[in-house]
Amino acid sequence: MTRLTRADLDALPVYVPGRNVADLARELGIAEAIKLASNEVPFGPLPGVTEAVAEAVTQSHRYPDMGVVQLRDRLAERYGVSPDRIVTGCGSVALAEHLAKATCLPGDEIVYSWRSFEAYPIISAGVGATSVRVPNTAEHGHDLPAMADAITDRTRLVIVCNPNNPTGTSVRRAELDRFLDTVPDDVLVVLDEAYREFVTDDTIPDGLAAYGDRPNVVVLRTMSKAWGLAGLRVGFLVAQPDVAVAIRKVLTPFSTSLVAQAAALAALDAEDEVKRRCALVVAERERVTEALRKLLPEVPSSQSNFVWLPLGDRAAAFGAACEQRGVIVRPFQGDGVRVTIGTPEENDAFLAAAETAL
Ligand SMILES: Cc1ncc(COP(=O)(O)O)c(C=O)c1O
C-alpha cells in the first residue's frame, strides 16, 4: 500500500483521554457515572462565564481578535508582566506543541520526567524530536539531578511539570534553583504549572514569581482546571518577549476562539470564587489522601486536584473495579491510578469503591 503519512508515527501512542459518562452508559448500562478521570473542577462554570459566552456567540460569524489584545492585557495585569510576554492558545497543551515547534528540529531532544503528562511524548514525536524520559524517583517525583545529567548538546527543551501530572508530586524551590542554574543558556525550560492554583505548600515555587525573569524559562498555565474552562480551551504562557515572538510565528491562527477569549475574561473577573473553589478542592484532597493511605500507605502527598495510587500492575484491575461501581478513574497500566478530586459526595463514592477494589 502506498504510504501517505510519516512512518515514524506508526510507533506513536494515541492520546488516551479519560473515559466519560457516556462510555459507561453504553458499555456497562450505568446511567449516572461519576467522572474523576480528567482533572476537571466539579462545580460548573464560574459566575458570569455562561452570560459572556452567550453574548460572544452573537458574533460567531466573525473571526476572533488574532492578537488576543484584551485578554493578554488582562492576564498581564493579573500576573504582573508586560503583555508582549504572553501568548494564549487552544489550551496549554497546544502551547506546549507550539513550544516544541518553535525550538526543535528533527533529531533534537526534549527532556522530561516519566511518568508525567501523557501529551509530552506525542508532542515530541510530532516535531520529530527525540523524547529523553528520565524515570521518576522512588517517591514518584522528578529526579532533577538526573534530568540535568540527561541534557546533551542536542537538547532544545526541558519540561518540568510542577505539580506533576499524574503523580501530584512537586519540586521545591531549592532543588529547582539548583537545577535551573545547571541548564545551559541555550536550552529552554518549560515550567508546566497547570495545577498551580491548588498548591498550598509554600516551599513549592510559583514559577512565574520565582523564575519569570530568567531568559530561558517559560511558564505554562491553563484556564482548564481551577478556572473551569476545560471545554472552552484557553491556556497561556509567559516567556521573554523574543521567545514569545517566535512562538507566535508558529501558532495556529485564531486558535484562541472568540468565545474562549470572552469566557476567559469573565472567569478572571471571578477570581474570588476560584479561590473559594480551590480551597474546597484542597480540603477534599487532604481528606481523600488520608482515607486512601489507610488502604494504601504509599499514596504520595498531592499538591494538585488529583491523587495518585501507585498500584503498578494492579492499576487496570482497580480502574475496572471502580467503573463497575460507577466511578471513572484514570489507570496507567503498570504504573498507577490517578483520581481527580470531585465534590465530597463524589469522593465518598470513590472511597467506597476503592475500599472494595483494594
Ligand atoms: C500538566 C498538564 N499540562 C497541560 C495540560 C493541558 O491542559 P489544557 O490543554 O486543557 O490547557 C494538562 C491537562 O491535563 C496537564 O495535566
The ligand 1 atom nearest the CA atom of 222: 11
Give pLDDT, residue 248.
96
CA 211–ligand 1 middle distance (angstroms)? 20
Residues with CB under 6 A from ligand 1: 39, 91-93, 117, 161, 165, 192, 194, 222, 224, 230, 235
User: Is there a contact between 266 and 113 (Cβ–Cβ < 8 Å)?
Assistant: no
- CA–chain centroid gap for 52, Å, is 25
Domains and CATH numbers, the chain: 16-45+272-357 (3.90.1150.10), 49-268 (3.40.640.10)
297 preceded by a cis bond (ω within 30 of 0): no
Candidate of 161, 199, 222, 305 to mutate for ligand 1, largest count of ligand atoms within 8 Å of Cβ: 222
pLDDT in tens, the chain (358 residues): 788 999 988 888 888 788 889 988 888 888 899 999 999 999 999 999 999 999 999 999 999 999 999 999 999 999 999 999 999 999 999 999 999 999 999 999 999 999 999 999 999 999 999 999 999 999 999 999 999 999 999 999 999 999 999 999 999 999 999 999 999 999 999 999 999 999 999 999 999 999 999 999 999 999 999 999 999 999 999 999 999 999 999 999 999 999 999 999 999 999 999 999 999 999 999 999 999 999 999 999 999 999 999 999 999 999 999 999 999 999 998 999 999 999 999 999 999 999 999 9
Residue matched to cell numbers 518549560:
190
At 63 the pLDDT is 97
Q: By three-state DSSP, how is residue 35 classified?
A: strand
Distance CA 44, CA 32 (A): 17
C-alpha cell belonging to residue 44: 460548573
Query: Hey, which of 93, 113, 330 would you mutate to test ligand 1's pocket, going by the most ligand atoms within 8 Å of its Cβ?
Result: 93
Best of 88, 97, 117 to mutate for ligand 1, by most ligand atoms within 8 A of CB?
117
- At 17 the pLDDT is 80
Nearest-atom number in ligand 1 for the CA of 166 is 16
Residue nearest to atom 3 of ligand 1 (CA): 194
pLDDT for residue 275: 98
Burial of 298 (0-12, 13-18, 19+ CB in 10 A): middle
Q: Which atom of ligand 1 is nearest to the CA of 230?
A: 10
- Helix, strand, coil % (nearest 5) of the chain? 45, 15, 40
Place of cell 545547571: 182
The helix or strand, by DSSP H or E, that contains position 191, with its residue range, turns out to be: strand 188-192
How far away, in angstroms, is 225 Cα from ligand 1 center?
A: 8
54, three cell numbers: 452567550
Q: What is the pLDDT of residue 131?
A: 97
Three-state secondary-structure class, residue 316: helix
